[in-house]
Amino acid sequence: MRIAVVGAGAVGGALAGYLAATGRHQLSLLARGEHLTAIRERGLAIQTPKGTLTCRPQASDSAAELGPQDVVIVTVKGHGLPALASSFPALCGPDTLVVAAQNGIPWWYLYGVGNDVTPEPLDVVDPGGAVWSAIGPERVAACVMEVLPARIVEPGVVAHTAMPVLAFGAPRPGDHAAKLAALADSFNAAGATARLPADIRAPLWSKLMLNMAVGPTSVLTGATMGAMEQAPGMAAVQGRLMRECLAVARAWGVDLPDDVDERLGRGSGVPGHKPSMLQDFEAGRSMEIDPIVTAVLDLARRRGVPVPTIETLWALTALKERVARAG
């Protein structure tokens, strides 16, 4: 298949490396800046726990240069996607599948969620429906990165400290089955773990619970995963955040088990890792507050679910970002 990865930074670079390792696909990357320059000059290197993967895919900062694809994997963070909406028509033919690999509540969430819900853009993550109009929810699927702690070591070099665990699925179960099965098979063949759950919203909310607990709290504290795991009282705070998120998921028909204590008790396995939200904050980049926090508040209000701890977290994290950027 012709596959383009849009936003080939840390996560996108890692996914691209595994796809390239199979030799099955014609791979291209939409990237920018020094990372793009390095990939063009030296190729892309992915440092994994099992060795280094290297590849030399076509890379460009122009969607028109890459042209129509069979599959487009989008790893741009959710809050940055509307700015790229105009790029998608050049990448999409009539049968192109767009796989959204982002944390948090996605722009397509209200599509296929139930007969009693109007399928429409979620304005908090897709203002004015720019992405909805450019891509169309009927051609979208999701990749939930259940495990993929990645970072850019230097331009053209990506590292991750745990082997990827991915889940693929469409907003309407059963849609795009053949292409999603082929993608999952490619990642499994390359040494990652990929699965096809019956309902992609279940792993989406499960991952969101963790993002809610560790992302904003790491920004407020400056702490790594391990430091938060060892801090007195932090597990109780994170547990309240996760259970409020769980209550919102259940209100929207996703009946996840309450395994919060077990998840917090076993730890992350990557104690030195800084969550991506903290990496963005320290680098002066905008953060995923809207898809990970604000959108959950929106969905909670729509179903009348009280989420006082999440509301507090949202206020503190948003204020910290405004103060940091104003300075």
pLDDT tens digits, one per residue of 52-77: 999 999 999 999 999 999 999 999 88
Provide CB contacts within 8 A for 218, sequence distance 6+: 224, 225, 228, 274, 275, 277, 278
Q: Could you tell me if residue 327 is inside a domain?
A: no
110 to each of 29, 46, 101, 107, 172, how far by Cα in Å? 29, 35, 17, 8, 11
> pLDDT at position 327, please?
67
Q: What is the CATH number of the domain that holds 272?
A: 1.10.1040.10
What is the distance between the alpha carbons of residues 129 and 114, in angstroms, rounded to a whole number?
Answer: 20
Same domain, 194 and 206: no
The answer to whether residues 185 and 228 belong to one domain is no
Catalytically annotated residues:
207
CA 313 to chain centre: 20
* Highest mean pLDDT pick, 166-170, 223-227, 272-276: 166-170
Same domain, 176 and 217: no
The percentage of the chain sitting over the pLDDT mark of 90, rounded to a whole number, equals 83
Give the CATH number of the domain where residue 32 resides: 3.40.50.720
Q: Which residue has the tokens 């077990």?
A: 262
> Domain count of the chain?
2
Q: Which among 148, 174, 198 is the end of a domain?
A: 198
Scored b (16 or more CB within 10 A) or e, 289-325 reads bbbbbbbbbbbbeeeebebebbeebbeebbebbeeee
Q: How far is CA 191 from CA 20, 26, 203, in A?
A: 12, 19, 20
CA gap 295, 204 in Å, rounded: 13
* pLDDT on residue 25: 95
Q: How far apart are CA 58 and CA 28, in angstroms?
A: 5
Quick one: which of 148, 152, 142, 150 has its CA closest to 173? Answer: 142
Residue 212: give the domain boundaries: 202-322
**Whether residues 192 and 288 fall in one domain:** no
